[in-house]
Amino acid sequence: MKDILGALGNFLKEIFSFSYLDTGLSRLLEALGLELGSKIFSVLHFFLYDSIKIFFLLFVLVFGISYIQSYFPPQRTKEILGSMNGFWGRIFGALLGILTPFCSCSSIPLFIGFCSAGLSIGVTLSFLIMSPMADLASLAILISEFGYKIALAYLLSGLVIAILSGYIIEKLGFVKITAIKATANYTSPSQKERIKEAKNGAKDIIKRVWLYILLGVAIGSFIHNLLPQNLVESVLGADLWYSVLLACVVGIPMYADTFAAIPVALALLEKGAGLGTVLSFLMSVTALSLPSLVMLSKVMSPRLLAAFVITLSLGIILIGYIFNAFAYIFI
């Protein structure tokens, strides 16, 4: 039994290390006449390898998560969250965000629905912040690209920011949210319907993000293979006091989900950007994107939106400086 489990573990490790993909793409590019180690070889290999790996993980993981979520529709989630308030309610709201593979703009309608159902603003804000910042699918890709220590540090940091931001904003008393119509009654689907919905859900997410993923991988490939390391270090190095601020500000106008931002962040880290700087960039791109803020301005009062942006920004910046100072623990 021990030998069987060991063999199974080695097989899974081989599958999810994607070493076979790395080798196969290298042979393909060499067969096409590209010289191993050349710039064009490196750029194309990085682009193809990361694109295929991310799309594969995205489909498989989102399919599985969507299937599990079919047992927890919004109506049932509202019932569960409705009985929770205070500290544990905010924790549960943030953890629920991890289980939802949505970008920020996709999370907003569900957030509004929770508010309209009378859920605590602190709980719903914790969900809204955490949902686009990290989910199970993006966590798996983060582990694959950065290693489990950095991935878990990113996840725990996001949870702290989501929980504390929800608490602070709720205590400030800015609770005005525009209501929306109640959702229709929910009917429990059959197993066949659950599988079909999970497959459609995975396809739908890929349709919505594929262009951003390819663009993110292309940018990451450019940074990794063509951008001089000393240039990245001179702008985003961990020893520069303004690097975290710059990463946060630059990330806001860039609309992308975690899947598209990860290749860019990895390339920046490999080129000498500070760990905290990279994490701040990831968080600001996903949780503070300009399109999501525009959407929130339609349903939040100006004071609530300002409190949301300021509180979340300060949390992201603080996390960035902390991880720049203690990066040696994780790298």
Task: Read off the pLDDT band of 278 (50, 70, 90).
Answer: very high
Please state the rounded mean pLDDT for residues 197-217: 79
Question: Diameter of the chain by CA atoms?
Answer: 64
Task: Read off the pLDDT band of 103 (50, 70, 90).
Answer: low
236-241 long-range contacts (CB < 8 A, ≥24 apart) are 236/268, 236/272, 236/273, 236/274, 236/277, 236/278, 237/272, 237/273, 237/274, 237/277, 238/273, 238/274, 238/275, 238/276, 238/277, 238/324, 238/327, 239/274, 240/274
The span from the CA of 242 to the CA of 164, in Å, is 24
Please state the rounded mean pLDDT for residues 11-17: 53
Torsion angle defined by CA atoms of residues 226, 52, 137 and 11, in that order, rounded to the nearest 10 degrees: -110
Please state the rounded mean pLDDT for residues 297-322: 88
Give percent of the chain with pLDDT exceeding 70. 77
Please state the rounded mean pLDDT for residues 235-256: 81
Residue-wise pLDDT tens digits, 106-149: 566 667 666 666 677 788 888 888 877 877 777 877 887 888 88
Phi (first) and psi of residue 66, to 5 degrees: -65, -40
Task: Read off the pLDDT band of 100 (50, 70, 90).
Answer: low
> Above 80 in pLDDT, residue 218?
yes
More confident residue, 100 or 248: 248
CB 271 within 8 A of CB 234: no
The span from the CA of 307 to the CA of 300, in Å, is 10
pLDDT given at position 58: 73
**Burial of 268: CB neighbours in 10 Å, binned 0-12, 13-18, 19+:** buried
pLDDT given at position 296: 78
CB 41 within 8 A of CB 29: yes
More confident residue, 310 or 210: 310
More confident residue, 237 or 75: 237
Task: Read off the pLDDT band of 231 (50, 70, 90).
Answer: confident
pLDDT given at position 319: 92
More confident residue, 321 or 79: 321
> Above 50 in pLDDT, residue 311?
yes
CB 75 within 8 A of CB 103: no
Residue-wise pLDDT tens digits, 179-194: 444 444 556 777 888 8
Backbone Cα Rg of the chain: 21
pLDDT given at position 277: 93
Which is it for the CA torsion 271, 276, 280, 283, positive or negative?
Answer: positive
pLDDT given at position 3: 57
The span from the CA of 305 to the CA of 150, in Å, is 30
Question: What residue spans define the domains of the chain?
Answer: 50-329
pLDDT given at position 244: 92
pLDDT given at position 266: 87
Q: How many other β-carbons are positioned within 10 Å of the β-carbon of residue 30?
A: 12
Please state the rounded mean pLDDT for residues 259-287: 87
Q: How far is CA 329 from CA 156, 263, 269, 287, 324, in A?
A: 15, 22, 15, 26, 10
> Above 70 in pLDDT, residue 153?
yes
Residue-wise pLDDT tens digits, 57-97: 778 777 876 776 677 665 666 666 666 667 777 888 888 77
pLDDT given at position 183: 46
**Burial of 183: CB neighbours in 10 Å, binned 0-12, 13-18, 19+:** middle
Q: Three-class SS string for 261-297?
A: HHHHHHHHHHCCCCHHHHHHHHHHHHHCCHHHHHHHH
